Chains A and B, each alone.
Chain A
């Protein structure tokens, strides 16, 4: 009968676009345990996977399922602390994992090793993870982290990931901005040089690339705009006309969900990279919420949980996390709100504000 078919059709549509919260909680829980060998390329970046899982659980308001204290200890074991003679200050920060082979230790002093140094993205995600777990960062050697960070900045304003050298681009400017913001201390970077690098990375098409001359991209556009926001320099660096042009570039990225570059296919994670940028620029409200939500949910893995970049593809922690953040921007009911510049929940952000207030109170009570 026509009526029944119609009802069944509607039900099927509903089944494919409903949000399976519990599946995602379990997906992140499993990510935090053991991964099969085919994930070996993630070894040096394991701390970022931890961040995706923990922040993902935070957005799902499900951090209670993990042992926070154990997690905090493990993260602190990744801190590269100064050695007794402080000869390695410029190499301090957080490691991505134990891959170098130092014996486990979650307290100082640091152990001398010819190749042990922090990685800028691990310092950023390490600090963010500690924060969202409710830690007070009291065991972070802030001076060491900031010294290590400063050593990574190049003449052109961008950053290396590691002191031994690496590629340099907008991603690491964002990591640096987050680190300084969380530690409430901008001595770790030359803001002026970083801003100049950002300006030079603006493309003829009004998006922002990874560096000067490079193709504008949703990821680097987020990194640039979010960094300026964290520095508190967004409106003074970019004119209203420039902001309008960036708004236009970003809003054109919506196809159903969002893509990262003109004429490229959409990908779930850009619902956050571009969505958050639009939110920072006050125009996310003018996007099409329904099409965006439907796309993100079409990439949901109904069996295993998590999200993939495309429908019918394998989910991974990154896309699971940014898929959730994309939904959070849309106001998905069961999700916590995400701070669009710092990329943690508003709750974690408030915890940070309280911490920073206490730091300032301590400083003034000492003087």
Chain B
């Protein structure tokens, strides 16, 4: 039971129920029936706000008091998508100031950056205003607090694509990668920007990207993201097709080895096998699989062994045997020993 009205007035604890401007409205309680499940124990204040919200909803009331109440409801539960939808209905019906709404949603997202509803709401307001001018800076601020926030990146990609704001994005990506070269979201964004602008078909661009990757690998070898990116931009052209790359990777293997480097090597050998299936190349691939299974990536031991078996069964039977030079060398070796 609520504290008496006088007590509430003295302590400033105003419920909607007490406000004269609401006396015409009959609050609507939640009804979970005789056996409620996963019932949430709301405080009086919470129940009060939402009982009145439900009343407004039922009547589809379009008023200033309704608009004000949505803010109170949002403060209590910003994940209630019905409240956000109703607020958008009111924003339009009451022709509210959308610039002010942008300020409002900016504050809410700063407080709750992992909530789906708030980002969707911001997108709607940006669309109504046809004004993305604050977005890149705002999202950059959210990313400065959590550089991998998926909602933030999703919103960023939407804004850039919708309003063609590509111009400074590669620069933004590079800044983030300087801060953390292992930020997988930033690598993804790099691919997003380049594939939608210059593309990777130009050999100069492709080589620039390959060199960028090799540079980042030298700085921080144990980084799955850079290796995924390198493989990603080359795999459909053929990993073994980029001139000199295999040699560079084999060099790196000596001083900046990692499970990712070795996996890249296996995939490069497999790519070579597709066009030129030789026992020599197959053996090289098997050697790396064995190294991964036994030493360099033992958590995935069973997988690397499986991969080795798969390669053998796929390429083994039809592999071109060792070249004559190689096999006579081998025979000479045997004679000498």
With a cutoff of 8 Å between Cβ atoms, the chain A residues found around residue B301 in the complex are: 288
In the bound assembly, the distance between CA atoms of A307 and B32 in angstroms comes to 28
With a cutoff of 8 Å between Cβ atoms, the chain B residues found around residue A43 in the complex are: 40, 77, 79-80
- B65 close to A (CB within 8 Å): no
Binds B, one of A19-27, A180-188, A201-209, A319-327: A201-209
Q: A44-B80, A215-B185, A263-B225 given as contacts; is B40 within 8 A of A39 (CB)? A: yes
Q: Could you say which of A104, A115, A283, A285 has the most chain B C-beta atoms within 10 Å of its C-beta?
A: A115
How many positions in chain A have a CB within 8 Å of any CB in the partner chain? 71
In the bound assembly, the distance between CA atoms of A217 and B229 in angstroms comes to 15
Residue pair A115, B37 in contact (C-beta under 8 Å): no
- Tell me which residues from 213 to 266 in chain B have a Cβ below 8 Å from any Cβ of chain A: 223-225, 228-229, 231-233, 235, 263
Q: A101-B58, A213-B192 given as contacts; is B46 within 8 A of A40 (CB)? A: yes
For A204, give its contact among B150, B185, B191 (CB under 8 Å): B191
- B: contact size bracket: 35 or more
- A106 close to B (CB within 8 Å): yes
- B29 close to A (CB within 8 Å): yes
Render B286-320 as a binary contact track against A, CB cut-off 8 A, 1 for contact: 00000000000001111101100000000000000
- A99 close to B (CB within 8 Å): yes
Residue pair A261, B148 in contact (C-beta under 8 Å): yes
Q: Is the interface of A mostly helix, strand, loop or mixed?
A: loop
Binds B, one of A56-64, A158-166, A337-345: A158-166
Across the two chains, which residue of chain A brings its CB closest to B36? A74
Q: A167-B119, A214-B153 given as contacts; is B31 within 8 A of A203 (CB)? A: no
In the bound assembly, the distance between CA atoms of A165 and B127 in angstroms comes to 14
CB distance from B271 to the nearest CB of A (A): 11
Q: A203-B188, A283-B303 given as contacts; is B38 within 8 A of A53 (CB)? A: yes
Binds B, one of A1-9, A30-38, A146-154, A190-198: A30-38
Across the two chains, which residue of chain B brings its CB closest to A209? B188
Residue pair B85, A165 in contact (C-beta under 8 Å): yes
CB distance from B49 to the nearest CB of A (A): 11
CB distance from A63 to the nearest CB of B (A): 14
Q: A166-B81, A254-B299 given as contacts; is B57 within 8 A of A100 (CB)? A: yes
In the bound assembly, the distance between CA atoms of A43 and B78 in angstroms comes to 11
Q: Could you say which of B31, B37, B192, B196 has the most chain A C-beta atoms within 10 Å of its C-beta?
A: B37
Across the two chains, which residue of chain B brings its CB closest to A70? B35
Q: Could you say which of B188, B231, B232 has the most chain A C-beta atoms within 10 Å of its C-beta?
A: B188
CB distance from B301 to the nearest CB of A (A): 7
Residue pair A74, B33 in contact (C-beta under 8 Å): yes
For A167, give its contact among B37, B120, B224, B232 (CB under 8 Å): B120
Residue pair A213, B157 in contact (C-beta under 8 Å): yes
In the bound assembly, the distance between CA atoms of A164 and B120 in angstroms comes to 12
Residue pair B33, A106 in contact (C-beta under 8 Å): yes
Residue pair B35, A204 in contact (C-beta under 8 Å): no
In the bound assembly, the distance between CA atoms of A215 and B148 in angstroms comes to 10
CB distance from A312 to the nearest CB of B (A): 21
Residue pair A251, B303 in contact (C-beta under 8 Å): yes
Residue pair A71, B229 in contact (C-beta under 8 Å): no
- A237 close to B (CB within 8 Å): no
- A155 close to B (CB within 8 Å): no
For A40, give its contact among B33, B35, B40, B235 (CB under 8 Å): B40
For B184, give its contact among A67, A165, A215 (CB under 8 Å): A215
- Tell me which residues from 37 to 75 in chain B have a Cβ below 8 Å from any Cβ of chain A: 37-43, 46, 50-51, 54-55, 57-58, 60
Q: A261-B148, A283-B306 given as contacts; is B154 within 8 A of A214 (CB)? A: yes
In the bound assembly, the distance between CA atoms of A155 and B333 in angstroms comes to 67
Residue pair A205, B40 in contact (C-beta under 8 Å): no
- B15 close to A (CB within 8 Å): no
- A246 close to B (CB within 8 Å): no
- Tell me which residues from 66 to 99 in chain B have a Cβ below 8 Å from any Cβ of chain A: 76-82, 85-86
In the bound assembly, the distance between CA atoms of A22 and B243 in angstroms comes to 61
Residue pair A104, B184 in contact (C-beta under 8 Å): no
In the bound assembly, the distance between CA atoms of A35 and B188 in angstroms comes to 39
With a cutoff of 8 Å between Cβ atoms, the chain B residues found around residue A165 in the complex are: 85
- B283 close to A (CB within 8 Å): no
With a cutoff of 8 Å between Cβ atoms, the chain A residues found around residue B106 in the complex are: none
Residue pair A37, B38 in contact (C-beta under 8 Å): no
Interface residues of chain B, those whose CB is within 8 Å of chain A, are 28-43, 46, 50-51, 54-55, 57-58, 60, 76-82, 85-86, 116, 119-120, 148, 150, 153-154, 157, 161, 182-185, 188, 191-192, 195-196, 223-225, 228-229, 231-233, 235, 263, 299-303, 305-306
24 A-B pairs (CB sep. < 8 Å):
A32-B37, A34-B39, A40-B46, A41-B79, A43-B40, A44-B82, A49-B38, A98-B32, A99-B50, A114-B57, A167-B119, A205-B231, A213-B192, A214-B150, A216-B188, A251-B300, A251-B303, A255-B299, A256-B299, A261-B184, A262-B225, A285-B302, A286-B306, A287-B302
